[in-house]
Structure 1
Amino acid sequence: MKDISKATIDRLPLYLRTLRVAQDEGRDVISSEELGRRLEITPEQIRKDLASFGQFGKKGVGYYVNELKHSVNNILGLDNHWNIAIIGIGHLGSALANYHNFVSLGFNLVALFDSDPTVVGRTVNHVKIMDIDTLEETIKELDIHIGIITVPGQFAQEIANRLVKAKIKGIWNFAPIKMKVPDGMHIVNEDLSIGLSCLSYHITRKPR
Structure 2
Amino acid sequence: MSGRISDSTVRRLSLYLRMLRDLERTGVEVVSSARLAEPSGATSAQVRKDLSHFGSFGKRGRGYSVEGLVRALEGILGLSHSWRLALVGVGKIGTALLGYGGLAARGFDVVAAFDADDAKIGTRAFGLTIRSMSELRPVIAELGVDIGVVATPARVAAEVAAALGRAGVGAILNFAPIDLSEIDGVPIRTVDIVLELEGLSYLLSEASRRSGSGGAGG
TM-score w.r.t. length of structure 2: 0.89
Q: CA deviation at 1:24?
A: 0.9
Alignment of 1:193 with 2:194, yes or no, is: yes
**1:1-80 equivalences in 2 (<5 Å):** 2-37=3-38, 39-80=40-81
**1:105-144 equivalences in 2 (<5 Å):** 105-144=106-145
RMSD: 1.5
The question of whether the paired residues in 1 share the 8 Å contact of 2:16 and 2:39 is answered with no
The question of whether the paired residues in 1 share the 8 Å contact of 2:165 and 2:184 is answered with no
The question of whether the paired residues in 1 share the 8 Å contact of 2:148 and 2:164 is answered with yes
CA spacing shift, 1:145–1:37, aligned 2, 3 Å: closer
Indicate the residue corresponding to 2:216 in structure 1.
none
Q: CA deviation at 1:55?
A: 0.6
Q: CA deviation at 1:36?
A: 2.5
CA spacing shift, 1:49–1:188, aligned 2, 3 Å: same
2:164 partner amino acid: L
Supply the distance in 2 between the matched residues of 1:156 and 1:90 (Cα, whole angstroms). Answer: 13
Q: CA deviation at 1:5?
A: 2.2
Supply the distance in 2 between the matched residues of 1:83 and 1:168 (Cα, whole angstroms). Answer: 10
Structure 1 unaligned regions, length at least 5: none
Q: CA deviation at 1:183?
A: 4.9
Q: CA deviation at 1:95?
A: 0.5
Indicate the residue corresponding to 2:92 in structure 1.
91
Q: CA deviation at 1:25?
A: 0.9
* Alpha-carbon displacement from aligned partner over 1:34-56 (angstroms, at most 9, x marks no partner): 22345432111111110111011
Indicate the residue corresponding to 1:202 in structure 2.
203
1:144 partner amino acid: V
Structure 2 unaligned regions, length at least 5: 214-218
Deviates more, 1:178-187 or 1:48-57: 178-187
Supply the distance in 2 between the matched residues of 1:124 and 1:56 (Cα, whole angstroms). Answer: 43
Q: Secondary structure at the match of 1:78?
A: coil
What is the percent sequence identity of the aligned residues?
Answer: 38
TM-score w.r.t. length of structure 1: 0.93
Supply the distance in 1 between the matched residues of 2:198 and 2:137 (Cα, whole angstroms). Answer: 36
CA spacing shift, 1:56–1:180, aligned 2, 3 Å: closer
Deviates more, 1:132-141 or 1:196-205: 196-205
The question of whether the paired residues in 2 share the 8 Å contact of 1:27 and 1:65 is answered with yes
The count of corresponding residues between Structure 1 and Structure 2 is 208
Q: CA deviation at 1:180?
A: 4.1
Deviates more, 1:126-135 or 1:143-152: 126-135
Misfit runs of 4+, over 4 Å: none
